[in-house]
Amino acid sequence: MDINFTLVGLTVAFVVFILICRAYVWPPLINAMRARQERIAHGLENAEKAEEALAKSNADAEVLLRDARAEGQRIIEQARAQATMVVDDAKEQAREEGERRLTAARAEITQEINRARESLRQEVAYLAVVGASRILSSEIDRRKHAAMLENLVREL
């Protein structure tokens, strides 16, 4: 076995290598690895949180959707009822209006008949008077015989 100065050279080299490793190699690597570990842990944690939040908001959305659907249904029902009511009202109104117009028309017709009757009556009275005067050859004074004419007219 041949021990010589190579031994010392190797010891020095070893120490220098450790120094370099400690200064430039180990810390950046181990720090980056620790940082990544932390980042992955954070990421996983966040993913879990996000999943929970997603599940929660899904449930919320479900409830909201169900509520909205029910509300919509309710509004549609209401609208339908209201529409029916409006149509019914309109129908009723139309019917009433028709009736009213019919009544008015009837009244007018009656009035017209009466008026025609009245004028006819007067015409007849007048004709009667004229006829009578012709028959009697004497003029009947309209003013003198107004009361008698009135009576006549009423009796016709």
Partner 1 sequence: MAEKGEAQTPTEYIAHHLTNLKFGQFPDGSWGFASSAEEAGQMGFWSVHVDSLAWAVGLGLVFLLLFWLAARRATAGVPGMFQSAIEAIVEFVDTTTKDIFPHKNPWVAPMGLTILIWVFLMNLMDLVPVALVPWVFARLGVDYMKIVPTTDINVTLGIALGVFLMIIYYSFKRKGPGGFLAELAFHPFPKFAAPVNFILESVTLLAKPLSLALRLFGNLYAGEMIFMLIALLYTASIALFLLGGVLQILWALFHILVIVLQAFIFMVLSTVYIAQAYEVPEEDGH
Task: Yes or no: say if 51 and 44 are a contact pair by the CB < 8 Å rule.
Answer: no
Task: Give the nearest distance from C-beta 34 to partner 1 in angstroms.
Answer: 8
With respect to partner 1, which residue has the nearer C-beta, 39 or 134? 39
With respect to partner 1, which residue has the nearer C-beta, 43 or 98? 43
Task: Yes or no: say if 122 and 153 are a contact pair by the CB < 8 Å rule.
Answer: yes
Task: Give the nearest distance from C-beta 30 to partner 1 in angstroms.
Answer: 6
With respect to partner 1, which residue has the nearer C-beta, 22 or 49? 22
HEC-encoded secondary structure of 120-154: HHHHHHHHHHHHHHHHHCCCCCCCCCHHHHHHHHH
Binding site for partner 1 (CB under 8 A): 1-11, 13-15, 17-18, 20-22, 24-26, 28-33, 35-36, 38-39
The rounded distance, in Å, linking the Cα atoms of 47 and 41 is 10
> Roughly how many angstroms between the first and final C-alpha of the chain, as a whole number?
172
Task: Give the nearest distance from C-beta 45 to partner 1 in angstroms.
Answer: 16
Nearby residues of 149 by Cβ (< 8 Å), 6 or more positions away = 125, 129, 142
With respect to partner 1, which residue has the nearer C-beta, 14 or 142? 14
The one-letter amino acid code at 105 reads: A
Task: Give the nearest distance from C-beta 49 to partner 1 in angstroms.
Answer: 21
